Structure 1
Amino acid sequence: MKIGRTLPILAVSGFLFASYTIVSSNQPLPVALAAAEPAASPYESFIAGAGIVEAKSRNIAIGTALSGLVTRVAVEVGDKVKAGTPLFYLDDREARAELVTRKADLARARAGLVEARAILKDSESLSKLVEPLLKQRAVSDEEVLRRHNTLRISKARLSSAEAAVRQADALLASTQTTLDLLIVRASVDGEVLQVNVRPGEFAQTGFLATPLMLLGNLDPLHVRVDIDENDAWRFDRHSRAVAYLRGNRDFSVELTPAYVEPYVVPKRSLTGDSTEQVDTRVLQVLYSFDREKLPVYVGQLMDVFIEVQGHGDNSGPAI
């Protein structure tokens, strides 16, 4: 009798539980609140684009002309440097040993040049002395010919000695150039943005996915704006433009036109990855602004709005 009552109760309970599960699973999920409100354009008609902050000089990936072991890093991230300031040093022991040899070769070549000049002077003197004796028949024709030949040989030896000095000097200059290349220097006035090399590591030449160092002139900063090719015809470089900090629209700055790169390229700045590409093609426009007016860093994304006058509707929200 108890079993007969239990089965219907269990069946009803299972039905109610299944109904509750179905109903609750079909409820729409609540929309999550945005972490930050998106920026809105201050202009009635505008072009919107994503911008990425970069140095005025572009972000310069520092490389090395010669491979070698890093012995010392002379700068740290954030250091301000002048053009020509040493950034890091490569092992130069072999080049310095070669420099000693080149200096000795140059000294020997110069000594040989002094000797050649003295021999030539002696040959010229002997040749001049024999000329009046020839008229008096005091010497034989063979002796005159021998002294003239000796003079020619002395001149040839002098030319050879001069060439040897030039060669030794050139080899010394080549070794000194090698020593200079083993000191990697800043190419422009700027600030050290990244240091990716340490003493004891091997620095390679050529293109590197991660540069040894990153350098840039941050006074002022530039923002590179991607304008969709469909909106390129509406763009006017003299129009007003404003940039909002991605993540906080309360931070904004008026932009000053810098220059336009007149070549439409595949869009790359969705995430800041320099290798990312999509089918969209964009016109890249550079604006400048004072870094003191906005708490922004190189590589950061911004929402940029460019005013459009007399060209129809706006282009919608920022990309």
Structure 2
Amino acid sequence: MLASTAAAEPRWIQGIGYVEPTSEIRRLAFKHPGILGEYHVQLGQQVKAGDILAAQQNREEQTAVAVAESQLLAARAELEKVLAGVNPYEIEAKKHAQHFSSLDAEYARRKLDRIEHLRNNKYASEDERDLAETSAKLKQAESRRLNAETRYLTHFVRDVDKQVAQTQVSVAEAQLQSAQRRLAETYLTAPIDGTVLETILRVGESTFSVGSPEPAVLLGNMDQLRVRAEIDENYALALKAGQKAIIFGRGLGDREIPAHVSLVKQIMGKKTVFAKTATERKDIDVIQIFVEPDSAIQVPVGLEVNVKVAIN
């Protein structure tokens, strides 16, 4: 019976790691080179996703947005002017004048017909007939002129003018969007809910170094912590998610925190966390596992701890 009980007990393997947020620590940097203008948060501050954390000096970008907004307003005003065309009351007045002129020309034509009939019957002179013909032609010409002016005013806005004005508005909108996007990129925003763990740069320092972005803020969600631990390669095949684990170590004093393996990474790597003992090997390959406590814990991020995992 004693031998059977001893055989049922799990074997424990140990590793070493450090505490981190389950969300991992986000090292946030600006997208483009610039000078850090100001921080909008303080160490330890709780933030929501989308909150502004810091800003570069961006007076030029703000000016570019203002200019682009003015250009868009001007382009839209020009489009409205083109689409409005001629005052509708002017068109209406011209149509009335054209209608009256056509009636007057029709009356002059009928008068010419009457005088032509009278002249044929010797009741009207040749001069009267010529005068009536000239008057009818003048009335017809005036009617055609007013008709042409009415068509011109009605079709004053050409399709090509509309297209040009609409294109100018589209270009101005695109320029404004580009300027707004560039201004937005001078602000550093939180990608997740979390706690500001560190502000790295000082106001006035460059946000890029040797062509590479410099992290300005460290952010992590402290609501749920875990341990990223390294286990000797000899035990890689024995590890799997769900195994019972215990978190302990010098920084935790006498505490032993019940936990479990939440993930076993599927790639080997070189050892990065060291116990600093004389007999420790530093050239071995390790596999990383994530160990999550069974209940929430409050310890500093980056705290070095030991873990032991129960394997069959």
Q: Same fold (TM over 0.5)?
A: yes
Distance in 2 (alpha carbons) for counterparts of 1:293 and 1:92: 41
1:60 aligned residue = 26
Q: Work out whether residues 220 and 291 of structure 1, in 8 Å CA contact, stay in contact via their aligned partners in 2.
A: no
Query: Of 299, 304, 307, which residue of structure 2 is paired with 1:304?
Result: 307
Asked if residue 258 in structure 1 is aligned to residue 258 in structure 2, the reply is no
**Structure 2: segments with no counterpart, 5+ residues:** 1-8, 103-139
The 1:284–1:164 alpha-carbon spacing in structure 2 relative to 1, beyond 3 Å, is same
Residues 289 and 115 of structure 1: CA distance in aligned 2, closer, same or farther (over 3 Å): same
1:283 corresponds in structure 2 to 287
Residues 134-170 of structure 1: CA deviation (Å, up to 9, x unaligned):
xx99649xx79x959x959711110111111111112
Tell me the matched-pair count: 257
Q: Provide the residue aligned with 2:114 in structure 1.
A: none
Could you tell me which of 136, 153, 160 is aligned with 1:156?
Answer: 160
Task: Assess, with a 3 A threshold, how the Cα gap between structure 1 residues 290 and 88 changes in structure 2: closer, same or farther.
Answer: farther
1:222 matched residue in structure 2: 226
CA 1:248–1:81: 2 relative to 1, 3 Å: closer
SS at match of 2:177: helix
Distance, in Å, in 2 between the alignment partners of 1:202 and 1:190 is 25
Distance in 1 of aligned mates of 2:295 and 2:52: 26
Alignment map for 1:114-193 (pairs within 5 Å): 114-119=80-85, 139=144, 151=155, 154-193=158-197
Rate the CA distance shift 1:154–1:248 in 2: closer, same or farther, 3 A.
closer
1 CA distance for matches of 2:46 and 2:177? 31
Contact in 2 for aligned 1:59/1:215 (Cα 8 Å): yes
Distance 1:50 1:152, change over 3 A: farther
Partner residue of 2:41 out of 75, 88, 94: 75
**Aligned twin of 2:64:** 98
- CA distance, structure 1, for counterparts of residue 184 and residue 87 of structure 2: 41
What is the identity, as a one-letter code, of the residue corresponding to 1:46?
Answer: W
Decide whether aligned partners of structure 1 residues 104 and 71 sit closer, same or farther in structure 2, where only a CA change above 3 A counts: same
> Taking structure 1 as the reference length, what is the TM-score of the superposition?
0.68
Q: TM-score, normalised by structure 2?
A: 0.69
How many Å separate the matches in 1 of 2:183 and 2:275?
40
Displacement of 1:44 in angstroms is: 5.2
The CA distance in 2 between the partners of 1:285 and 1:151, in whole Å, is 76
Q: 1:259 to 1:121 in 2, by over 3 A?
A: farther
Q: Percent identity?
A: 28
Note the residue ranges of structure 1 that are not aligned, 5 or more in a row.
1-42, 310-319
Output the aligned Cα RMSD. 3.7
Deviations 1:267-286 (A, max 9, x none): 223379xxxx9642222111
Q: Supply the AA of the counterpart residue of 1:181.
A: E
1:235 counterpart residue number: 239
**Which is greater in Rg?**
2
Provide the rounded CA distance (Å) in 2 between the counterparts of 1:285 and 1:249.
Answer: 23
